[in-house]
Structure 1
Amino acid sequence: MQATSNFGVQETHGILDRFQAEFRGSSEGLGWSSAYASVQRERPFDGHFHALSDNLMVLHRGGPVDITYVMEGKSVARHIPRGGVFFLPAGHACNVVLHEALESTHIYLRSDLFGGRDGAPSPIGGLAPMLGDQDAVLEHLAAAIGDTITGGLPASSLFVDPIAQAIANRFVAINFHKPSVEAGKHPNLLSVKQMARIREFVDANLDTDIRLDQLAELCGRSTEYFVRLFKASMREP
């Protein structure tokens, strides 16, 4: 079931204020409930995108640009062409270093859009981030969202929901309609490296009060999502 309340800027990472991006337009005040979008020219920055309960997609409307991502302690440098897509699923955190100015469209998608159908479990926990990959379908759908904003199309709340749903469906298809690149990988569990990082942190801080949010940040996850992953991991043989 899709959300009915308007999706506002206060529910996003606040890129326009935090990184002094040059504002082109946004969906604020347009009555959109399933997505929030903004079009901007981003200046070079080094910033942290904390874990949210919703999902972020970024379409590179310009390029190529060099970007460095840091997720779960791993640094990845990418040279991303025009049309590249960054995707940060719900519950994931990421540090981003943008080395050049970039024209972009940011689209936040309600997690309800990724819910299972006909009683099937939601796949949201298993969605993987995308770090600048290209996908023609996502590019065209995101461009339609951006054009809706910059073109000032009337009554956009009447037709944006199906576009947002199509974007969510495409991410699900990308994640679950291709073979896993790592045999035996369980996307709904903490990785071996994450569990080792937790043990090392606990061993080093036995004389202090250890909080769940500290462990969640250590793994690049929201506290709520971390608790689910940790419980599931502890049940694994």
Structure 2
Amino acid sequence: MPVLQRIPPTPAPSKDALGCAASKLDVNQEFEGGGLTFYRKSTGNEQFGNVSTPASDRGFLVGVALRGGHRRRILHGNHASTHDFDNGSIYIRDFTEDYRADLQGGFDFLLVEMSRAFIERVNDEKGGPRVSSLLPMNGQSDPVLGALAQVMTQVLDRPAETSSLFVDHVSLAIGTHLLSEYGAGATAGWGDTGGGRVLSRKLEVRAKDMLLAAMRDDSSIADIAEACNLSRSYFIKAFRQTVGTTPHRWLLEQRVQKAKEHLRVPGRSITEIALQCGFADQAHMTRVFASVVGVSPGAWRREHGI
């Protein structure tokens, strides 16, 4: 008599921190910066299946669709709701609630995980009414978050080329927008006293010195603001009012000026100059240089007969 053998069941695909079967994803990226965690999840799989996460104290998750054609059926106890997502549509969910959803159609999402501590920090920096949570959303269009999500995809694609100063700016913009548009649980807060915000000469020098040091150690804007005894938001606004541009843009311009000095020296390779001036590589320097000067480093060097 033949012996029957027990065939073990095929193990279910492992799921990541957001409840996705990682093996089914075509793009699965993660980046932490500016107090937020960013993810990009993308697949062409029309029958992706379900996602689920148990309740936790992780805060909130904001999803921004980078393309249309996606539908999800969200299960709420004994009932369900179905939502369609176009390019720029968003959802917001609270991690304190169990989450289950069936995903239909391929998708491409930029996801932002926001802790309650980050919300409190934005409350402190923006002033005005304070909020304690975000309203749940599913499928609503938000062009502002859609545009910011596109910016963050570039960061996820090339994290080595991105400074923490830039990520701080984008993170603060995302946080401020979310709290302003979808904040809940408002309490009495404090408002802006008005008037111009400028840095004293001493603080301007200190801030610029630290930004220049960021060419080497990539100091965050929070560190610089703390050194000036200012909140991050106040520092950004005061720096722009004083200098005429944001800290990140000013730093890029200084790197370009330093690159010009090196480019004047015959025989120096652009790759070598890029690394010495704080750029990730030659391609990174070329993009920034062209955005500031209007031509590539090589073209600028030729124009000046070097």
Task: Give 1:31-46 correspondences, 5 Å limit.
Answer: 32=33, 34-42=35-43, 43=45, 44-46=48-50
Aligned residues: 165
Compared CA separation, residues 124 and 91, structure 1 to 2 (3 A): farther
Aligned counterpart, 2:176: 169
Query: How many Å separate the matches in 2 of 1:109 and 1:172?
Result: 11
Query: How many Å separate the matches in 1 of 2:174 and 2:42?
Result: 22
Provide, for residues 53-82 of structure 1, a one-character-per-residue CA deviation record: whole Å limited to 9, x for no partner.
222111111212221112355411112211
CA contact (8 A) 2:91 2:139 kept: yes
Gaps of 5+ in 1: 1-10, 178-185, 188-237
- Does residue 80 (structure 1) correspond to residue 85 (structure 2)? The answer is yes
Query: How many Å separate the matches in 2 of 1:161 and 1:73?
Result: 41
Aligned counterpart, 1:123: 131
Compared CA separation, residues 124 and 24, structure 1 to 2 (3 A): same
Aligned counterpart, 2:53: 49
- Does residue 22 (structure 1) correspond to residue 26 (structure 2)? The answer is yes
Compared CA separation, residues 157 and 130, structure 1 to 2 (3 A): same
Q: Secondary structure in 1 aligned to 2:161?
A: coil
Aligned counterpart, 1:89: 94
Identical aligned residues as a percent: 15
Aligned-residue RMSD, C-alpha: 3.1
Query: How many Å separate the matches in 2 of 1:131 and 1:56?
Result: 12
Query: How many Å separate the matches in 1 of 2:165 and 2:19?
Result: 25
Compared CA separation, residues 13 and 92, structure 1 to 2 (3 A): same
* Greater helix share, structure number: 2
Between structure 1 and structure 2, the one with the greater Rg is: 2
Query: How many Å separate the matches in 2 of 1:56 and 1:49?
Result: 11
Query: How many Å separate the matches in 1 of 2:87 and 2:128?
Result: 36
Q: In the alignment, which of 125, 130, 135 is matched to residue 142 of structure 2?
A: 135
CA contact (8 A) 1:58 1:105 kept: yes
Q: Secondary structure in 2 aligned to 1:146?
A: helix
Report 1 or 2 for greater relative contact order, CA contacts < 8 Å, sequence distance ≥ 6. Answer: 1
Task: Provide TM-score, normalisation by structure 2.
Answer: 0.46
Gaps of 5+ in 2: 1-15, 187-306
Q: Secondary structure in 2 aligned to 1:142?
A: helix
Which residue identity is paired with 2:73?
T
Query: How many Å separate the matches in 2 of 1:60 and 1:114?
Result: 22
Which residue identity is paired with 1:133?
Q
Task: Provide TM-score, normalisation by structure 1.
Answer: 0.58
Provide, for residues 199-225 of structure 1, a one-character-per-residue CA deviation record: whole Å limited to 9, x for no partner.
xxxxxxxxxxxxxxxxxxxxxxxxxxx
Which residue identity is paired with 2:88?
G
- The list of structure 1 runs, each at least 4 consecutive aligned residues, that deviate by more than 4 angstroms after superposition, is 118-122
Q: CA deviation at 1:34?
A: 1.0
Q: Secondary structure in 1 aligned to 2:68?
A: coil
Aligned counterpart, 1:150: 157
Q: CA deviation at 1:40?
A: 2.8
